[in-house]
Structure formats: C-alpha cells, structure tokens
Amino acid sequence: MTNMRFIAECVALFLLLSCSISGHGVLGFSIGSDSRLSGKCRCNTIVAICVGMIVAASSCGASPNLNFHAPKLRISTRAAAAAVKDAVNGSTEQTSTPPEIRLNVPEKARTASSVCTSGTLCTSSYMDDIQGAPFGSFVDYVLDDVGNPVLLMNEMSMHTVNIQRAGTGSLVTLFAQLGGPTTSTGPAGQDVSRCSITGTIEKIESTADDWDALRMRYGIAHSYADQVMDSPKFHFYRLIPTKIYFVGGFGVSSEWVPPEKYREATPDILAKDAPSIIDKLNRDHDEDLMLTATEILAVKEVEKVRVTGVDRLGMDLRVTRRMPRRKNKLLTDEFRVGFRISVISVEDAKSEILKVFQEAWEKHNGVTWGDDEVPGADVPLLKTAEDNLM
C-alpha cells in the first residue's frame, strides 16, 4: 500500500503542475454530450481527482475490477498519434507513420461473410421448363477456420438435388448481406455491405480433421441443428471459393477479392456489435455528430449527419449539406474519421468516438491544449465519396 500511495501522490503532483502551467491544462475529459467539463472548472476538477487518488490509494481491500464510469484522462493526442499499436494483430511495434484508418477489401468481405449466418444459395435448376435457370434458396451456414462457408443441408431440398444432379465440380454462389434477418432488427435495403462467394461445393465426411469443430460451431450458431445434424437425411457441405465479389453498399465501389487474400483476412472484431453502436450514435448523439462535421471535418451548411459504419479502425460519416448559393440543393459527402489506435473492444471504440466528440466540442468553444494546439487537429480523416450531382 505504501508503494501505491507513493505512485498516487506522484501522479497527483504531475496533474497539479499541469493545471498550474495552463489555465485549462492539457487533459481532455469525455463523459458524454450533456456533461462536459469547461475550461474554467478543470483545475478544480483536477484537484478533486488528485485528492481522490490519494484517498483511494490509502484504502485497504480496494477491488482492481471496479466498473468506473468517471471521466477518463486523455494523453496528448499528438503523442498518441505518434505511437500507434496494432493490438488486433498482436503487434506491439511502435511506429510514427500515419495509422491505417480503413479496412481493406478482403477484410471487409471476410467480415460480411462471418457476421452473417444465413444467405441465399444459388444453384442451377434441373426442373422441367426452368432447366439451367438460377435457383435461389435461403440457407444457414457458418465459416470454417479459413473462411469457407459450411452448410447443413437436407438431401431432399431442391438446392441439394440441384447440386447432386450437377455433379462434382459444379459451381454455386452464396450471397450474404449485412443487415439481414440474422444481423439486424432494422430494415436492410441496399445501403449495406454484401458478399457473393462463388465456388465448388463438396460433402464433408465425418473423418475430416475439423468435423467436431464444425459440428460445435454450427450448433452454437443455429440452435435447431442439434436436432437434425445426426439424421441420415442431413449432411454438411463445404463451399470452396473460386471467385468472391464484395459490394460496400449502394453507390459504393465494388471489387473482386482474390480467394487467397480472403482466406488470409481477419474479420473485424467489432462487426457483431457495430449495428448497435451505430444505432445509439445516430439516436442519441445528433449534437455531437453535427459538431464533428462542422469542427473536425470543416463542412459548412450542414443539415444532417449520420454514422454509417464503425469498425476497429474508425467510423464512417455521411454528411448532408446545403449547396452554396443554392440553399434548396442538398449535397451528400462521405467521410472516414479514423481512430488513433486500433481498438480491441466495444469499450475501446466508445472511448475513441467520445474523444472525437470532446475535441469537436472543445474546438467549437475555443479551447486549446497549450502552445495553441487546436483540438482535433491530428484526428485521421479521409473524404471517401462526394456528391457530383451539381
């Protein structure tokens, strides 16, 4: 406890010195849009935090796992941007180069196919009058360790019959779309990422090395499977991709993904939680998003801002603005607001987003961090699309 008290007192002294150097200090606090700290009260707040740290260090039996919701201290963003760590890939190497703020296309495709657990399987029909026509069936699936879709299919299903009639080496296509019935409670539409995986499909024998793992994985993803996977009428099939096509959304660029790049890609760690994060931001943070657009992105005449995507590297914003000299004309631009670190959890993502919101608020209110450093000046930004219908 003596060591803890000594450390707490040292940190407290540093905070007090920081407060005395600058009227507002170099520390940013982020606790939501309705309870930010103004420049006038920061020194008093820092003093209170210092006292609290010393008292806490003197207490016995303090739990290290407290669910602490007080404002978090933020290290200087300039220093943070110069020491980015890619924690997702397990690397601890520090670099002074600008961080990557967008997932690459193979990662996006792998993310879309991994988040979805159902899709449309397209086979070639062998029915009279429609022989050779594409036949679509709703199917459930999971991915194996390298991203190959694995399906549990009834031998009597029409798509299974089509596959058997086509013979070995026949091609099928699995289409999966974010925002479908297994990924979102809201309407999907065309403004979502989607992936089409075309390849050959083969039955998985019980002697396969990953047989037990696939059974467990499928049973977890689809609760009904435990009742039928041992039936002689049901068999597992594996789709081996030969062509993969990814579409980012309506009006967004699309691209063919090499299967080897797809297999090497890592699904985004936030993919399953992204829809709920996006919904909350768009529902509860209108003011923060508007300030981000006007102060961080420097967009004028802003009418509306919506978050369209969140991943471990940043978030995507769609900004609608009024056209200069033609106030009745609306233009829409897409921006990427990057995180200064690659996050590894939902809480990390929330923290990074709130930092951006806090810096937008500080810049709007004329707050600086010392040496005239402007809040938000080093937030990684990228304009990804613009409205060309002038």
- SS3 sequence, 358-382? HHHHHHHCCCCCCCCCCCCCCCCEE
> Same domain for 282 and 254?
no
Terminal-residue alpha carbon distance, the chain = 67
| 83 CB neighbour count, 10 Å cutoff | 12
Residue 166 in tokens: 């086509």
Residue 52 counted as domain residue:
yes
CATH number of residue 314's parent domain? 3.20.180.10
From residue 163, alpha-carbon distances to 172, 232, 366 in Å are 8, 18, 66
pLDDT in the model for residue 201: 96
Task: From residue 138, give the alpha-carbon distance in Å to each of 117, 142, 221.
Answer: 11, 14, 16
Number of structural domains in the chain: 3
In a shared domain, residues 260 and 279: no
Instruction: With respect to residue 100, please indicate whether it lies within any of the assigned structural domains.
Output: no
DSSP H helical segments within the chain, as ranges?
Answer: 2-21, 42-58, 77-81, 105-115, 158-166, 211-221, 259-264, 274-284, 286-291, 346-364
> Cβ distance 193 to 177 under 8 Å?
yes
Query: 251 and 148 in one domain?
Result: yes
The number of residues in the chain equals 390
Question: Which distant-in-sequence residues (6+ apart) come within 8 Å of 278 by Cβ?
Answer: 307, 308, 309, 310
Q: Do residues 214 and 150 lie in contact, with contact meaning Cβ atoms separated by under 8 Å? A: yes
Are both 338 and 285 inside the same structural domain? Answer: yes
Instruction: Tell me if 120 sits within 8 A of 159, measured CB to CB.
Output: no
In a domain, 81, yes or no: no
Residue where a domain terminates, one of 73, 91, 121:
73
Would you give the DSSP letter of residue 183? T
Tell me the residue type at 246: F
Residue 331 lies in a domain: yes
What global pTM score does this model have?
Answer: 0.68
pLDDT in tens, the chain (390 residues): 445 545 555 554 454 444 444 433 333 333 333 444 444 344 444 444 444 544 444 444 433 332 323 333 333 333 333 333 333 333 334 434 456 899 999 999 999 999 999 999 999 999 999 999 999 999 999 999 999 999 999 999 999 999 999 988 899 999 999 865 444 444 455 668 899 999 999 999 999 999 999 999 999 999 999 999 999 999 999 999 999 999 987 766 789 999 999 999 999 999 999 989 999 999 999 999 999 999 999 999 999 999 988 999 999 999 999 887 776 789 999 999 999 999 999 999 999 999 999 999 999 998 877 766 778 788 999 998 877 544
Is residue 80 domain-resident? no
- In a 3-state reduction of DSSP, which class is residue 115? helix
Q: Answer yes or no: is 217 within a domain.
A: yes
Distance separating alpha carbons of residues 183 and 267, to the nearest angstrom: 15
User: Treating both helix axes as pointing N-terminal to C-terminal, what angle do 2-21 and 42-58 enclose, rounded to 10 degrees?
Assistant: 170
* Residue numbers of the domain that contains 310: 274-385
What CATH number is associated with residue 224? 2.30.110.10
Contact 304, 287 (CB under 8 A): no
Measured from the Cβ of residue 261, the count of other Cβ atoms closer than 10 Å reads 15
pLDDT at site 161: 96
Residues 229 and 289 placed together within one structural domain of the fold = no
Distance CA 109, CA 319 (A): 25
Asked whether residue 210 is assigned to any structural domain, the reply reads: yes
- The domain boundary residue, chosen from 239, 264, 289: 264
CA distances from 199 to 101, 121, 177, 181, 262 (A): 31, 11, 18, 24, 13
Residues 256, 160 within the same domain:
yes
Residue 152 sits in the same domain as residue 211: yes
- Among 210, 233, 264, identify where a domain stops: 264
* Tokens representing residue 48 in the block: 């209170």
CA neighbours closer than 13 Å in the CB half-sphere of residue 150: 26
Kindly state whether residues 239 and 313 are assigned to the same domain: no
Residues 217 and 281 in one domain: no
In a domain, 99, yes or no: no
Within 10 Å of residue 146's Cβ, how many Cβ atoms? 14
**Chain CA centroid to CA 98, Å:** 19
Domain identity same for 299 and 189: no
**CA pair distance 143, 88, nearest whole angstrom:** 20
Residues 143 and 259 in one domain: yes
pLDDT on residue 185: 44
260 in the same domain as 143: yes
Query: Given this model, what pLDDT does residue 61 score?
Result: 41
What is the per-residue pLDDT for 384? 86
Q: Which residues share a beta bridge with 317?
A: 307, 335
Any bridge partners for residue 142, and if so which?
Answer: 150
Distance (Å, whole) CA 376 – CA 354: 12
Instruction: Report the pLDDT value the prediction gives residue 359, as an integer from 0 to 100.
Output: 94
Pull the structure tokens for residue 175. Answer: 């289409």
